[in-house]
Amino acid sequence: MKVWGRAAFGPAAMGLALGCSIVVSELIGNRYVPAVVCALVAILLIRPFRRRKELGLTQAGRGFALGVGVTGGSAVLVLGAGTLAGWISWGPFDLSTVLVFLVTNTVIAVLLEALPEEISLRGHTWTALRSRYRGVIAAAGTTALFLLVPGIASIVQLVLGGIVGVPTQELSFTPPGEDPVVYLVLLAIFGFTLIAARQATGSLWTSIATHLTFLTVNRLTIDGAKRDAGWSATLDSPDVLLLVPLYLVLAALIYQQLGRSRPVLSFASSLPQRDR
């Protein structure tokens, strides 16, 4: 149980960080400051207990490039196939608006989601479980704990919001407006893909890049009109959204193959021999 207690600290830290950022957002109405708060809280909570190597913060350039390439390539293949099949149509492409969106989205997505979540879950939690269990159990455990983050964040923002006197959302284990079953299933698939990314190279930067690329692709295309991203996709039917988990599964399979064919880059070679 000690190992599971240490592992649970990861989602607790991320939930606290995310809850704090939500409250800060309500207080100041700014997107960038809450993102910085989220990253700082998560890093300050996790970093004292883990060395950089234990978190997988190595091979930054190579790991990040692989994450972008595999995830982005998988999205292009799957969404491209959907386009050829007539399931997806695309609106006009505004280059300047897209570039501005990519810059602002990258800053916020990295600080608010990709960096803190990966350090907390695929960094700390995965390392804690992997020190005791084989890959399948560690992956399932990390992903199950990952699903708790939205609920923990909801509790934190309710408590902190009440203390500082800002409006708070109702207690929920999924973001407002999301179908709970669909959201949690997608989050589980996403979680396993992020672990596959970490295993492929041993570098957490691969997971961070996978996380960022996934968010960017979806926000630029499927949610493009809603986010004024300069480009958007129109789906023939709601069922076409199944292409999103499909390209995540494809990315996970590619990562698994890379892990097998490049043992020198596998996670086992960089796994810490003790759990601090």
**CA gap 225, 212 in Å, rounded:** 19
In a domain, 274, yes or no: no
Amino acid sitting at position 248: L
- The pLDDT confidence band at residue 165, using thresholds 50, 70 and 90, is confident
Least confidently predicted of 35-39, 86-90, 161-165: 161-165
Domain with 11, as residue range(s), is: 2-268
Rounded-to-integer distance, Cα 158 and Cα 78, Å: 39
Whether 273 maps to a domain, the answer reads: no
The percent of residues in the chain predicted with pLDDT above 90, rounded, is 82
> pLDDT tens for residues 107-118?
999 999 999 999
Of 184, 183, 193, give the one whose Cα is nearest residue 250.
Answer: 193
Note the pLDDT of residue 270: 40
How many domains are contained in the chain? 1
In a domain, 161, yes or no: yes
> Which pLDDT score is estimated for 95?
96
pLDDT at residue 264 in the model: 37
Residue 22's pLDDT is: 93
High-pLDDT (> 70) share of the chain, %: 95
Asked if residue 222 belongs to a domain, the reply is: yes
Domain membership of residue 205 (yes or no) is yes
**What is the C-alpha separation between 171 and 181, in angstroms, rounded?**
16
Mean pLDDT (the chain) is 91
Beta-bridge partner residues of 234? 89
pLDDT in tens, 254-272: 999 998 875 434 433 344 4
Q: 275 in a domain, yes or no?
A: no
| 112's tokens | 């608010």
pLDDT at 276 over 70: no
Q: How confident is the model at residue 44 (pLDDT cuts 50, 70, 90)?
A: very high
Q: What is the predicted pLDDT for the residue at 175?
A: 81
Q: Is residue 158 part of a domain?
A: yes
Coil, strand or helix: which one is 218?
helix
Count of C-beta atoms within a 10 Å radius of residue 177: 7
118 is a domain residue = yes
**DSSP per position, 118-163:** IIIIIIIIHHHHHTTS-HHHHHHHHHHHHTTHHHHHHHHHHHHHHH
- The number of beta carbons lying within 10 Å of the beta carbon of residue 19 is 25
- For residue 171, the model assigns a pLDDT of 84
Summarised one tens digit per residue, pLDDT across range 180-225 is: 899 999 999 999 999 999 999 999 999 999 999 999 999 999 999 9
Question: Please, which pLDDT band fits residue 42 given cuts at 50, 70 and 90?
Answer: very high
